[in-house]
Amino acid sequence: MAIEIIPKPARKASPLQNILFYFAIGLLLLSIGAYFVLGYFVKKSELTLQDLEETLAREKTEEETILEKEVFGYERKVEDFSTLIGQHTYTSKFFNFFESLCHPKVWFSEINLDIINHRLILSGKTETFLILDQQLLIFQQEELIKETILTKLSIGGEGLVNFTFDLTLNPIIVKK
């Protein structure tokens, strides 16, 4: 090993290394400053949250209580109305449906519509048993009529056939 006696000049750092060094130091100082600033904001937020929780915990004023009762009253009314509308039946739809099923030579003298049990009792007159049979077939072929029963049959004084039908309807007829 040879010992050098002639001193060599010290290497100078390149300008790029100096810039990166000072940039790194600035970034370190900025990070430390941001840590303390964010810590301050966290404490401030915790104090604000604590104040809000205390506000919620204290008793409601009389005005707030009255207003709350009023709002809940309106809420109940809206819910009740929604329930009623949801269960509402449209009997007018039944009459449009029924009109399309009537034989032109059959006269109905009495209609008893029971919406709750989905039953319809019809009393009427017709000229012949053939027309009555045709009306019965019309009812039996309709998909929205579940069951058709001829409960009463007689011949009236004018030679007309008197009858009574008992029909069980599909509930969809009177729904929305």
The yes-or-no verdict on residue 173 having pLDDT over 80 is no
Reported as type and span, the H/E element at residue 58 is: none
User: Where in the chain are the domains?
Assistant: 91-174
CATH node for 91-174: 3.30.1360.100
Only one residue has tokens 């002639």, namely 6
- The alpha carbon torsion through 125, 131, 136, 141 (nearest 10 deg) reads -140
The predicted pLDDT at position 42 comes to 96
DSSP string over 94-140? HHHHHHHH--TTEEEEEEEEETTTTEEEEEEEES-HHHHHHHHHHHH
The string of pLDDT tens digits covering residues 4-60 is: 677 677 778 788 898 999 999 999 999 999 999 999 999 999 999 999 888 877 777
Residue position matching structure tokens 């009253």: 73
pTM score: 0.50
The confidence score (pLDDT) of residue 113 equals: 84
Comparison of pLDDT for 148 and 25, the residue scoring more: 25
CB atoms within 10 A of CB 76: 10
